[in-house]
Amino acid sequence: VQLQASGGGLVQPGGSLRLSCAASGTIFSINAMGWYRQAPGKQRELVARISNDGSTMYADFLKGRFTISRDSAKNLVYLKMNSLKPEDTAFYYCKAGLRSSPATGYRHYWGQGTLVTVSS
DSSP, collapsed to helix, strand or coil, labels residue 30 as strand
Which pLDDT belongs to residue 66?
97
pLDDT for 21-67, tens place per residue?
Answer: 999 999 999 999 999 999 999 999 999 999 999 999 999 988 789 99
| pLDDT at res. 116 | 98
CB-side neighbour CA atoms (13 Å) of 102: 0
Distance (Å) of CA 115 to CA 19, 48, 72, 103: 10, 17, 24, 36
Q: Give the per-residue pLDDT at 61.
A: 87
Q: What is the pLDDT of residues 79-106, one digit of tens each?
A: 999 999 999 999 999 999 999 998 989 9
At 63 the pLDDT is 79
Backbone angles phi, psi at 87, to 5 degrees: -75, -5
Q: Where are the alpha helices (DSSP H) in the chain?
A: none
